[in-house]
Amino acid sequence: MLHRLLSNDLPRSRWLAGLLILLVLALALTPFIFPGVKALNVAAKVLVFIVLVASFDLLLGYTGIVSFAHTMFFGIGAYGIAVATTRMGPTWEALAVGLGGSLLLSFALALMVGLFSLRVRAIFFAMITLAVASAFLTLASQLHEITGGEDGLSFKVPEILSPSFEFSEEPFLGVSLDGRLLCYYLLFMTAVVLFLALLRIVNSPFGRVLQAIRENEFRAEAIGYRVVVYRTTSAILSALFACLAGAMLALWLRYNGPDTSLSFEIMMDVLLIVVIGGMGTMYGAIVGAALFLVAQSYLQDLLRLGSEAASALPWLSALLSPDRWLLWLGVLFVLSVYYFPSGVVGRLRARSAQA
């Protein structure tokens, strides 16, 4: 049963299996074991980024395509939900229309970019996707009547998903049973289903062809595979999953703007998470997203404690200042790449294979 669920792609490492089980349980039980709004927001963001990073890994790790337009589809999914609910009201019909419209737009754009650009060399394709993503970001910032411009759009969701909706007046294990909790578990189940779907895709015959193209494009074409068709299909699938991740983010935040889902910083975060977790592994999306986002969210708090503890040494206290959290995040990234060149998942699997 587990083999089927994981598409015969087991972790292949006891340490990795234990880490994955720990992370999944932590995400499943976050509302009950990590009280507070911040912890829940971080966990929800981890769920969103697991889907987003896994969809990008399908493109980069399994097909060998470098694209900087991935966050464009992420933004389309978020804007689809935001625009639809703003115009139609906080209804399930609005969510369905927004999601359907954003998926159609993502499909069309991914098809166009794929057909026109995937025939060129890798670096030129990367530059084309960067130009398209930049143009879309500018467009979203300027179409104030539709997207809200730089201010973005704040909207309401169906009442059953809002914090004001309570299923019970009595808390369960100290946690309020409200719409916010239901929304979190809706995101959790969606992330599980989408991740398993991506895992199934990369372990199917289609996924094997993608890996063959990544290893040697000319050989794959020589034995009869239409490389452009497979790469375009991979780009479309990746875009659709990124679009769904954007819809998840909008549903949780009940707000979307250019900096929330379309900024280039998000694209850089996705690249970092793929490298930290392990390219071409899928499981790296879970490990990388959890490690990176927890570090990003709590590093300032840890540095503040360290700075206060080292108050007797002014130079050390200044070095550990919370204002320098980006510096320390960079140091942690360099160390992770140095000690885990194939990512955390790749290193754990290699260690298990040598044992």
For 306-334, write each residue's pLDDT tens digit: 877 877 777 777 877 777 777 777 887 88
Chain segment 59-83, per-residue pLDDT in tens: 998 888 888 889 999 999 999 999 9
The string of pLDDT tens digits covering residues 113-143 is 877 766 666 677 788 888 888 888 888 888 8
User: In the predicted model, what is the mean pLDDT of residues 9-29?
Assistant: 88
Retrieve residue 218's tokens: 């000319």
State mean pLDDT over 89-95.
91
Of 83-87, 222-226, 269-273, the poorest mean pLDDT is in 222-226
Structural domains in the chain, sorted by start? 2-354 (1.10.3470)
pLDDT band at 55; cut points 50, 70, 90: very high
* Other Cβ atoms closer than 10 A to 96: 12
> Alpha-carbon distance 254 to 180, whole Å?
11
In SS3 terms, the chain reads as CHHHHCCCCCCCCHHHHHHHHHHHHHHHHHHHHCCCHHHHHHHHHHHHHHHHHHHHHHHHCCCCCCCCCHHHHHHHHHHHHHHHHHHHCCCHHHHHHHHHHHHHHHHHHHHHHHHHHCCCCHHHHHHHHHHHHHHHHHHHHHCHHHHCHHHCEECCCCHHHCCCCECCCCCECCECCEHHHHHHHHHHHHHHHHHHHHHHHHCCHHHHHHHHHHHCHHHHHHCCCCHHHHHHHHHHHHHHHHHHHHHHHHHHHCEECHHHHCCHHHHHHHHHHHHHHCCCCCHHHHHHHHHHHHHHHHHHHHHHHHHHHCCCCHHHHHHCCHHHHHHHHHHHHHHHHHHCCCHHHHHHHHHHHHC
253-283 pLDDT per residue, tens: 999 999 889 888 899 899 989 989 988 889 9
Stretch 43-58: mean pLDDT: 96
pLDDT bracket for residue 1 (50, 70, 90): low
pTM: predicted TM-score of the whole model, two decimal places? 0.93
Between 6 and 336, the more confident residue is 336
pLDDT at site 117? 64
